[in-house]
Amino acid sequence: MRLSRYFLPILKENPKEAEIVSHRLMLRAGMIRQQSAGIYSWLPLGLRVLRKIERIVEEEQARAGAIQVLMPTIQPADLWRESGRYDAYGKEMLRIADRHERDLLFGPTNEEMITDIFRAYVRSYKDLPLNLYHIQWKFRDEVRPRFGIMRGREFLMKDAYSFDVDKEAARHAYNRMFVSYLRTFTRMGLKAIPMKAETGPIGGDMSHEFIILASTGESEVYCDKALLDLETPAADTDFFSDLTPIVEAWTAPYAATDEMHDPAAFETLAESARVSARGIEVGHIFYFGTKYSDPMGAKVATGDGNEVPVHMGSYGIGVSRLVGALIEANHDEAGIIWPASVAPFHVGLVNLKPGDGPTDAASEDLYGKLTAAGVEVLYDDTDTRAGAKFATMDLIGLPYQVVAGPRGLKDGVVEVKNRASGEKELLSPDAVVNKLVPALTA
């Protein structure tokens, strides 16, 4: 993409409403625009990151056997009356009436609707297990939206719903999502730690929040340092084998959020093993049994001919929140530092002197070769000053910057800068291609 033909509205100054670093950087980097409290437009750069995150989530959901659907944002109130939640939900639910005065709502979540879909088609245990998910915009009318995209009223969420014939089968479904989440967050360059969460009326041990550590996190969390070094399950993990050993390895060490924290248990860890930090919740999985299938009549026939309400679980990932969380975890004074897997572009190619023959030729050549090799390049071909170009590149945080100018090209080299480490090296254009293509297209 040529910057001269792109839409990247950078702000030099800090908007005063943005207090938290991710919010500030997203506004400054031209990723989002606030339209109302907790409601944002996604500008091109922000949208690209959102899509990168979605793609990773989709790939890992597929690997774990979940199947994608898409349910509407607007739901009929009657479904929620069946589950009893229409009255129970409170003011966070945005209620709407259509022209016929029928009660609708902007969905804050989708248990009722997915249960309705399930009961319409599935009758037999032979069709299980089943896990359906979608990635859709949700709305919760928060009293006080804040932290930019991290705590908006409208937010993009992946929510999956599992259906199984009994609790034991549901536990396998739960484990698949558990392992899938470990892989999903690791691929985004995040260290997400599963922490036991409150299970509400169901009870049991099947509810975890996935928390990433960031100094600006919203809540206090505590865990065993050992969790930070555990190995993420490999891509070729068989999700339909017994995943219990993996889940146990990840749930054995101490890990708890503020609400679930047990200081006495935490104190039994060696001083050096105690990690107490701030965290951001990016995922939440839980088993809720027949809470919805029962009142809504979602039943399947078992092998012995009985009909039983299906056992369900739900599994959320805050997709739009992750954009903010990623920035909270990856930034410095100059701006964002994207992990390559979610970066809006891989490389920022800076032409220091548009109009200069050799510089243009070298830049165009690099742009063509990198792009042809599958590297996503944002090519700054604009006629502005070097300092402004560098500042913009640092701000938007692409993993690599390639700087081509007359001075270096006299000696046949361009500069490659690693945004994360700050390391710079001078390489010939061909060497740049040889270095970056394998690093970014693996």
Partner RNA sequence: CGGGGUAUAGCGCAGCCUGGUAGCGCAUCUGGUUUGGGACCAGAGGGUCGCAAGUUCGAAUCUUGCUGCCCCGACCA
Q: Which residues bind RNA (CB under 7 A)?
A: 10-20, 28, 34, 36-38, 91-92, 140, 142-147, 150-153, 155, 157, 209, 218-219, 281, 284, 316, 318, 320-321, 334, 352-353, 385-388, 390-392, 394-395, 403, 405-409, 415, 417
Cβ distance to RNA smaller for residue 127 or 356: 356
Shortest CB 26 distance to RNA, Å: 13
Torsion of CA 72, 75, 78, 81, to 10 degrees: 110
Residue recorded with tokens 């009436």: 97
151 near 85, Cβ under 8 Å? Answer: no
Local structure of residue 260 (DSSP, 8 states): T
Shortest CB 145 distance to RNA, Å: 6
Cβ distance to RNA smaller for residue 111 or 281: 281
Residue recorded with tokens 């860890």: 269
Is it true that the peptide bond before 129 is cis, omega within 30 degrees of 0? Answer: yes
Cβ distance to RNA smaller for residue 18 or 300: 18
Taking each helix axis from N to C end, the angle separating 167-187 and 44-63, rounded to the nearest 10 degrees, works out to 140
Shortest CB 297 distance to RNA, Å: 25
**Closest by alpha carbon to 128, among 315, 248, 308?**
308
Cβ distance to RNA smaller for residue 289 or 318: 318
Cβ distance to RNA smaller for residue 187 or 417: 417
Shortest CB 207 distance to RNA, Å: 11
Cβ distance to RNA smaller for residue 92 or 307: 92
Shortest CB 263 distance to RNA, Å: 18
Cβ distance to RNA smaller for residue 41 or 124: 41
Shortest CB 180 distance to RNA, Å: 17
Burial label, 175 (beta-carbon count in 10 A; 0-12, 13-18, 19+): buried
Shortest CB 155 distance to RNA, Å: 3
Whole-angstrom CA distances from 442 to 17, 54, 59, 325, 438 are: 40, 19, 16, 25, 6
**Closest by alpha carbon to 296, among 133, 72, 86, 67?**
86
